[in-house]
Structure 1
Amino acid sequence: MKIVHVSTTDYGGAYKAAARISGSLQRCGEESSIMIRTKRYQDTAGSEVFHNGYQRLFSKIKNGFNLLLSRGEVISDYFGTDITREQMVKEADVIVLHWVNSFISYRVVERLTKLGKPIIWVMHDMWLLTGGCHVDQYCGGYEHLCGKCPLIGSRKKKDLSYRNFIRKEKMLQGSKIRLVCPSRWLSGCAAHSEITKGQSICRIPNPIDINLYKPLEKMEDIRDKYHISADKKVILYGAVNATSDQNKGYQHLLNALKLLDGGNYVLVVYGNSEETKGIEKYIPMILAGYIQDEQTLIELYNLADVFVAPSLQENYPNSVLEASACGTPVTAFQIGGMPDIVLHNRSGYLAPLGDAGRLAEGIKLCAQNSREMGACARKHVEETNSYERIGKSYQELILDMMEQA
């Protein structure tokens, strides 16, 4: 089968998950490729849809209109690129949509459904089932009808979130698009949303290459590389939009670190070091900077005794999956898709949402029992997220769709 995945960019968490899903299908013998609006990196998987500068310029203009129609976290996609005429789409037996904001519009989705091809939409966040936000910050308005959106400070019933909500209902009405949710949490959200509850929804976890992300030997060499003594427990944290996005839970992490005996730990931070100023007051810190290659990232996961992910609302975070695959226990809040990846008190620790004290307890527990809990984390990923297992799940879904067409 020829399967084409559609993604706005070739970077970011949603793209990484999309590329892995495509890779899992390739591993199972399928011809799977990725269509991208704009390529940033030459070595990433995916073919750019635009063939000349005029197309890129026109896309930027349309995206500009979308931004004018959006407000803050509430994103509108009224203008987009008509990919129905692209050769990759014409030749495809199956179309898989991923994170497509600022790429294809509501109308283009409707045109895709008229091609008569099976369409899967992999939901990497809440955008499809809400009035435009990617995480609803526990608003819950999507369960009935968005309006008076707190994220944009609106008091109007028929505001932007309402208009987006109604347009999405129209877009999906009567379609046979299959929705795939990586987590049980997002599956439940989709089942309760007025936009998506009429669609067929299934849960397939995101895959990871367990032959690449795995426990490494000679850990003393990696510790020497970062000048960390054997008696220190290593906490790993990824600072991506840590201070600019409240959903990342940075303040809760800071409060938890204050409760630890800083002399026993070293905090290793990758990502934007500017967003972690102040932490060094409570715990020794090593800044690893932005990580460009996977092997260095895998080394850091293996270096850590515990990986901490303090997000307040998250679907199925790649970093938590990667750390677990490398045999590193994870401490996080018990939210979103975390319980699908982290087995509480077995492969990691899940603290009640917002409880910095329990988050600190989890960090200590995982660091003290890193070897045993890490082995459990690795085993769980092997049994749940391998390319072979997830690729087969997608194959079975596609065959079922074809039989019902």
Structure 2
Amino acid sequence: MRKSGIESKMLVRYGAPSEGSDVFAMSDSYSFLSKGLSVVKRKLHFKDKYCAYEVSDPAVDNFYEFYNSLDFEPDIIVLHWVSGFISHKHIEWLSNHSTAKKIFWFSMDMAPFTGGCHYSWGCEGYGSSCKQCPATTNILASKLVSNYFAEKAQIIQKCDIDLIVPNRFVESQAKLSALGFSDIHTCYLPIDSNVFSVNQTREFDKEIVILFGAANFKNKRKGLQEFIKAIDYLSEQVPFESMAEHVKVLIPGVSEEIRRLFKFDCEFIEYANSDEELSNIYSQAHIFVSTSLEDSGPMMVVEALMSGLPVLSFSTGIAKDVISEGDNGYCSPIGDSKSVAENLITYLNLTPQEKRDMSLCARNSVIEKMDVKKHSESFLKILNII
């Protein structure tokens, strides 16, 4: 925003910005008891896989005072990741008491347009009223969700809020929502093409490196078990000597507990703590595998493509937007590990030149949509600034 000459400030839940910064962090207003009760509430009332943080986690209790202390009068407010930070009642207050003429809500997952779950696992109850919610464990919680949905819908419609989504897949989900957003816009998240670049020295006629990664391997949503099954099936179809000599599986950030789950001898490396470290990991690989079962991204899919890695993925999330079958990767039915393995075999059987062509296609397929400059132009156009 600032590079485009637009005065902007950011209000965040956590952090310690430097003096004179345009980033403002709130002090921790949660009591230890409040934090503990929110965890207990979530465990008692909601199933883990739905990530119903928006309903169970309390918003900050000093938001109004903090906002009023800021010396800033915005014309536009963009909400981002606000679960456990800003509630729908805070949003209504901002609409009534701030100088903003328009509020946008940038949706990183499904939470902004559902009754509180970040991932619905196929449930489309948010298309009506979120009654009989499958994320809940009892009648009380189900009632809590439907009431929350009704209150949220009333406020979103009253405040004339536009929704911004990160890809067409999430857009298709958001269009089902009965919350009543004024409009829905798609704006791909930016990937720095200078950081995530193609390894020009990558060779395709020797060992092929398969990369698998996720932010949290213990999260069932990320499909660790499905990846293990795919590699097991691959090792059964490809002679052991050939696998050991020509194929390496590279996995960053894996605990000893998870390492023991693999039968095939993988190479485990340290977790990446920066984009630069992550880019270096991509540069060591030839192809990236994502077995996420329920996802609005993941970001690693487009980072890998930007780095020149074809992607094998289940048909969910951003993979449905960006993967062109056989050109820059392959999609498999969700949960079908055998299909993932078969697609890996297809890739391994390509000639070195065909693999090189896929690498070039991978980067070209996303650079026009997701480079930082393109994102900035799209975002400002949505905000009606350009």
TM-score range, shorter chain: 0.7 to 0.9
- Percentage of identical aligned residues: 28
CA distance in 1, matches of 2:212, 2:138: 35
Superposition CA RMSD, Å: 2.7
Q: 1:269 to 1:337 in 2, by over 3 A?
A: same
Amino acid at match of 1:56: D
Match of 1:186 in 2: 170
Aligned match for 1:98, one of 71, 80, 85: 80
Q: Which residue of 2 aligns with 1:373?
A: 358
- Length-normalised TM-score, structure 1: 0.80
Residues in 2 aligned to 1:292 and 1:129: alpha-carbon distance in whole angstroms = 31
**Contact 2:288 2:312 (8 Å CA) reproduced:** yes
User: 2:254 maps to which residue?
Assistant: 272
Equivalent residues, number: 359
Q: List aligned pairs for 1:334-353, cutoff 5 A.
A: 334-353=315-334
Deviation at 1:366, TM superposition (A): 3.8
Which residue of the partner structure matches residue 213 of structure 2? Answer: 238
Question: What secondary structure does 1:331 align onto?
Answer: strand
User: For the Cα contact (< 8 Å) 1:273–1:287, is it kept in 2?
Assistant: no
Is contact 1:66–1:102 with CA below 8 Å preserved after alignment?
Answer: no
Instruction: Render the CA deviation track for 1:93-133: whole Å, top value 9, x for unaligned.
Output: 32211111111122111111122412221100111122211
> C-alpha separation between the residues in 1 aligned to 2:263 and 2:141?
46
TM alignment of 1:4-403, pairs within 5 A: 25-39=1-15, 47-50=23-26, 55-58=27-30, 66-67=38-39, 69-70=41-42, 71-72=45-46, 73-75=51-53, 76=55, 79-80=59-60, 81-82=63-64, 84-87=67-70, 90-114=72-96, 115-117=98-100, 118-155=102-139, 158-195=142-179, 197-219=180-202, 231-242=206-217, 244-260=218-234, 261=238, 262-263=243-244, 264-274=246-256, 276-282=258-264, 284-367=265-348, 368=350, 369-399=354-384
Shift of 1:250: 1.4
The change in CA–CA distance for 1:396 and 1:346 in structure 2 (over 3 A counts) is same
Q: Tell me how far apart the structure 2 counterparts of residues 97 and 366 of structure 1 sit (CA, whole Å).
A: 41
Q: Secondary structure at the match of 1:150?
A: coil
CA contact (8 A) 1:328 1:370 kept: no
Gaps of 5+ in 2: none
What amino acid maps onto 2:189 in structure 1?
N
Deviation at 1:331, TM superposition (A): 0.5
Secondary structure in structure 1 of the residue aligned to 2:116: coil
Letter in 2 for 1:34: M
Instruction: Quote the Cα distance in structure 2 between the aligned partners of 1:278 and 1:67.
Output: 30
Larger gyration radius, structure 1 or structure 2: 2
Structure 1: 5+ residue stretches without partners: 1-24, 221-228
Q: Is the 8 A contact 1:63 1:79 kept in 2?
A: no
| TM score, norm. by length of structure 2 | 0.84
Q: How big is the shift at 1:158?
A: 4.5
Per-residue deviation, residues 20-48 of structure 1 (Å, max 9, x unmatched): xxxxx344443444322112898xx9734
Q: Which residue of 2 aligns with 1:223?
A: none
- Secondary structure at 1:208 match in 2: coil
